[in-house]
Amino acid sequence: MKLKVCGLTKLNQIRELVAMNIDFLGFIFYEKSPRYVLNTLTCNEIKSINHQGKIGVFVNEKIEKIIDITEKSGLNFIQLHGDEDENFITELKQKLKPEVGIIKAIRVGNDSSEVKNQVENILNLKSQISDLLFDTDSKSFGGTGKTFDWQILNELKITKPYFLSGGISEENIENIKLLEQQPFALDINSKFEIEPGNKDLEKIKNFISVVNTAPKIKIMNYQNPDKNGYYGEFGGAFVPEMLYPNVEQLQNQYLDIINSEEFQTEFRDLLKNYVGRATPLYFSKNLSEKYQTQVYLKREDLNHTGAHKINNALGQVLLAKKLGKKRIIAETGAGQHGVATATACALMNLECIVYMGEIDIARQAPNVGRMKMLGATVIPATSGSKTLKDAVNEALRDWINNASTTHYIIGSVVGPHPFPDLVARFQSVISEEIKWQLKEKIGRENPDYVIACVGGGSNAAGTFYHFVDEPAVKIIAAEAGGFGLDSGKSAATTFLGTLGVLHGSKSLVMQTEDGQVIEPHSISAGLDYPGIGPFHANLFKEKRAEFFSITDEEALKSAFELTQIEGIIPALESAHALAVLGKKKFKKEDVVVICLSGRGDKDMETYLKNL
Ligand SMILES: *Cc1c(COP(=O)(O)O)cnc(C)c1O
Q: What is the pLDDT of residues 209-248, one digit of tens each?
A: 999 888 776 677 899 999 999 999 999 999 999 999 999 9
Q: What is the SS3 assignment for 210?
A: helix
State the chain's mean pLDDT as an integer. 95
Q: What is the pLDDT of residues 401-426, one digit of tens each?
A: 998 999 999 999 999 999 999 999 99
Cβ burial 32-61 (10 Å sphere, 16+ → b, else e): ebebbbeeebebeebeebebebbbbbbbeb
Would you call 104 a catalytic residue per the annotation?
Answer: no
Pocket test for ligand 1, best of 301, 304, 308 (most atoms within 8 A of CB): 308
Cβ atoms of residues 533 and 511 within 8 Å: no
Q: Which of 104, 177, 597, 602 is catalytic?
A: 597
Give all domains of the chain, ordered by start, each with its CATH number. Answer: 2-219 (3.20.20.70), 241-276+305-422 (3.40.50.1100), 281-303+430-609 (3.40.50.1100)
Would you call 47 a catalytic residue per the annotation?
Answer: no
| 278 prior amide bond cis, ω within 30 | yes
For 307, which DSSP code? Answer: B
Distances (CA, A) of 339 to 55, 166, 298, 307, 526: 63, 55, 22, 10, 13
Q: What is the pLDDT of residues 495-515, one digit of tens each?
A: 899 999 999 999 999 999 998
User: What integer pLDDT is reported at residue 218 of this predicted model?
Assistant: 63
Nearest protein Cα to ligand 1, atom 3: 526
In this structure, how many other beta carbons lie within 10 angstroms of the beta carbon of residue 292?
12
d(CA 367, CA 350): 19
User: What integer pLDDT is reported at residue 467 of this predicted model?
Assistant: 97
Nearest protein Cα to ligand 1, atom 1: 526
Q: What is the pLDDT of residues 239-264, one digit of tens each?
A: 999 999 999 999 999 999 999 999 99
d(CA 584, CA 565): 20
- Residues ≥6 apart with Cβ < 8 Å to 582: 291, 554, 557, 558
- Residues ≥6 apart with Cβ < 8 Å to 191: 145, 167, 168, 169
Pocket residues: Cβ below 6 A from ligand 1: 307, 309, 336, 412, 453-460, 526-527, 571, 573-574, 597-598
d(CA 461, CA 453): 10
Cβ atoms of residues 492 and 482 within 8 Å: yes
- Residues ≥6 apart with Cβ < 8 Å to 206: 170
| 420 prior amide bond cis, ω within 30 | no
Query: Among the residues of 374-492, which ranges form H helices?
Result: 388-401, 419-427, 429-442, 458-464
Q: What is the SS3 assignment for 4?
A: strand
Cβ burial 186-207 (10 Å sphere, 16+ → b, else e): bbbbbbbbeeebebeeeebeeb
Q: Which of 4, 177, 309, 474 is catalytic?
A: 309
- Residue 27: which pLDDT band, with cuts at 50, 70 and 90? very high
